[in-house]
Homo-oligomer: A and B are copies of this chain.
Amino acid sequence: MATNLYDYAYELEKALRNSSEFQNLKSMYDAVENDAVAKSMFDAFRNVQMQLQQKQMEGRDITEDEVMEAQEIANRVQGNEKVTRLMEAEQRMSMAINELNKIIMKPLDELYGSMNG
């Protein structure tokens, strides 16, 4: 790989690290990290989410009990401002990352798109 390809990636990494999206995400993370109640809620929510995703990917059925557990945790989470703000910050960061990926991957999208056509 030409050295400058990496150099451009490092520049983008720096810009991402300094972006309002990342800085905001970081403070929301810290706020949750330093609050035992919010932290345990957030971890529980993330764990249930990951378990269900895993089962879905493996084609296994999700039981009614599991849906109810996930719903119950989601409801509790919505009552905690620190956790909801963190989740909003994650959402915004994730949208920015998607935009970046779309821009960077355009050459490949074009190439593969023309192949399929």
Contact = CB atoms under 8 A, between A and B. Distances in A.
A5 B104 contact: no
A33 B43 CA distance: 49
Contacts of A58: 59
Interface string A6-28: 10111111011111111001100
A15 B4 CA distance: 7
| Copies of the chain in the assembly | 2
B29 A111 contact: yes
A106 to B, nearest CB: 6
A8 B14 CA distance: 10
The majority secondary structure among interface residues of chain A is helix
A72 to B, nearest CB: 23
Interface residues of A, number: 40
Given A10-B103, A11-B11, A13-B104, 17 more contacts: A1-B96, A2-B15, A2-B18, A4-B15, A5-B12, A5-B15, A8-B15, A9-B103, A12-B103, A12-B104, A13-B107, A16-B104, A29-B115, A57-B59, A58-B59, A59-B59, A97-B105
Interface of A: 1-2, 4-6, 8-13, 15-22, 25-26, 29, 33, 57-60, 93, 96-97, 99-100, 103-108, 111, 115
